[in-house]
Structure 1
């Protein structure tokens, strides 16, 4: 069973508005083998591109969560006719990157968690900010980190990220997978996804894969 622990020796005295490391995280000694995180950060093309950069991330799959399998298709979700969010399912090695560190990238680079049911010009509930937790440990770490970021004044507006149980992940259509890497010339990717990749490479240089994704 995954256990949550306080991070010993963590320096919480970061400048106001800066992103701290999570004060509480899942103890890697309490889990073994690859783990999974499901996160909604607006357009899944952009989130996927960001998380693929990180050392310890084994795979990222774009898909949908929040509603039934019958409605888990791009056309229906984009029409706003479901409660699905576009999500990324992240398989990761907890010996190399923790759940809390994935959340740090999620909140600092992957999206703006203060935007309700939108990300920039992408408007609709399918683009909401959400953490879909698989167990009590993930829920505790996510809620603790949101409270920590709020107390630190990282954002001037309230964080509106939903923290909700993961009922099911529905894999997206194949043409959505690894989309940013396969279509770097696509205008949306060039304007929105690539700047986020540049940002994660700059801010998390010590956590990148040795070979870029």
Structure 2
């Protein structure tokens, strides 16, 4: 672990003790007026919403979600990257998650609603919470036309909803592929529930999801 990382963890540990646990501002986003048509097979969706630990942590507790993988999306097709490369902020990639879900249980539009209600602030450009840089931007990566129409319509819908003071910065981006992050970044919230970063920034998101969407919450996370 780099010295800068150790110092950051020491600071976060002190902050977690000194600061009462509280969620970042949450907003109950509206029910989508346009959604992807349900299918009879598992579907996949890709979201970027800041540090992937919390994005994965929340989506893994959604009923109907079968698998969530942390990784990278948004950069040039065919280029191979890893965490250290993406962390430099100049690769074009963003930390992202790949969500495999059963559309008979949870729709793509519902995943969008959860994403903007408790995971990502759609008004912050190139950052989420304490993490700054293009690698922490919020973005939607539709994998087909149905998702593309739903994502575009939902960004327009929440832009008109008046729930956020600032304009929507989240973009729909062309999907150029997804690369898994290292194994040490997978299921990070589940494996490290007392990590200072998780306590301060991600556990409140999961608590907010449970409170706001109790019917969709499941206690045991997906694999």
Short-chain TM bin = 0.7 to 0.9
Separation in 1 of the partners of 2:33 and 2:60?
A: 24
**What is residue 211 of structure 2 aligned with on the other side?**
202
Q: Which segments of structure 1 move beyond 6 Å, counting only runs of 4 or more?
A: none
Match of 1:64 among 59, 62, 72: 72
- Judging by fraction of residues, say which structure has more strand: 1
Please show how residues 182-197 of structure 1 align to structure 2 within 5 Å.
182-197=191-206
TM-score normalised by structure 1 residue count: 0.88
Q: Any idea what the Cα deviations from partners look like across 1:150-193, whole Å, max 9, x if unmatched?
A: 11112111111110121100011011000011011111011001
Match of 1:101 among 110, 114, 119: 110
Contact 1:65–1:84 (Cα < 8 Å) also in 2: yes
Matched, 1:24 2:27: no
- CA displacement at 1:32 relative to structure 2: 2.2
- Cα RMSD between the aligned structures? 1.2
Please show how residues 9-158 of structure 1 align to structure 2 within 5 Å.
18-28=28-38, 31-68=39-76, 70-158=79-167
Q: For residue 84 of structure 2, give the secondary structure of its aligned residue in structure 1.
A: helix
- CA displacement at 1:19 relative to structure 2: 2.2
Unmatched 5+ stretches in structure 1: 1-16
- CA displacement at 1:81 relative to structure 2: 2.6
Q: How many residues align?
A: 194
- CA displacement at 1:120 relative to structure 2: 1.9
Contact 1:71–1:82 (Cα < 8 Å) also in 2: no
- CA displacement at 1:71 relative to structure 2: 4.2
Contact 2:71–2:95 (Cα < 8 Å) also in 1: yes
- CA displacement at 1:70 relative to structure 2: 4.0
**What is residue 175 of structure 1 aligned with on the other side?**
184
